[in-house]
């Protein structure tokens, strides 16, 4: 994953794509920050799964920023954030639709044997392990809560 991002950065630099270069540098910076955060636990570099969660977090931050910029009457800044989301999502696996997410959650509930809302943490942990970067866990949390009633 790191190599692909770095190769794409070099290609974008050669092509003179300033916005893409900026976004790829932000991605590299976030990954390096995650590497530094992982050092105390004995890991030198984070795994590809951890990189996916970093990228998903970046997308979520940008979506929140877009809402703020639109509310504040700054459509040009919202457009810049949307362009960054497009670049970042290019490295994430295809996102699940709501129906696919519901089916995956139901399967995990069955698999873990969760019976009620108290076991939601167990279900969410299994979802994050199996579907990192493929679903919005904010929505998944609400769907899980609904299915565990």
What are the pLDDT digits (tens) for 61-111?
999 999 999 999 999 999 999 999 999 999 988 888 888 888 999 899 888
Query: C-alpha angle with apex 74: 27 to 135, nearest 5 degrees?
Result: 45
Check whether domain 2-89 has CATH 3.30.9.10, yes or no: no
The whole model's pTM is what? 0.74
How sure is the predictor about 44, in pLDDT bands with cuts at 50, 70 and 90? confident
Q: Which fold has domain 98-147?
A: Arc Repressor Mutant, subunit A (1.10.10)
Query: C-alpha angle with apex 95: 90 to 100, nearest 5 degrees?
Result: 160
Residues in the chain: 149
Query: C-alpha angle with apex 14: 9 to 17, nearest 5 degrees?
Result: 70
User: Is 1 strand, coil or helix?
Assistant: coil
Domain with CATH 1.10.1510.10 in the chain: 2-89
Domain with CATH 1.10.10 in the chain: 98-147
C-beta of residue 52 within 8 angstroms of C-beta of residue 94: no
């Amino acid at each position: 994953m790191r190599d692909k991002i770095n190769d794409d950065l070099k290609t974008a630099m050669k092509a003179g794509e300033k916005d893409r270069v900026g976004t790829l540098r932000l991605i590299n910076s976030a990954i390096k920050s995650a590497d530094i955060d992982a050092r105390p636990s004995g890991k030198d570099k984070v795994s590809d799964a951890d990189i996916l969660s970093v990228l998903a977090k970046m997308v979520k931050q940008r979506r929140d920023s877009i809402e703020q910029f639109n509310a504040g009457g700054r459509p040009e800044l919202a457009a810049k954030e949307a362009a960054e989301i497009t670049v970042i999502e290019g490295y994430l696996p295809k996102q699940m639709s709501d129906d696919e997410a519901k089916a995956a959650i139901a399967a995990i509930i069955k698999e873990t044997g969760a019976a009620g809302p108290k076991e939601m943490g167990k279900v969410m942990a299994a979802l994050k392990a199996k579907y990192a970067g493929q679903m919005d866990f904010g929505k998944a949390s609400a769907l899980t809560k609904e299915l565990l009633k």
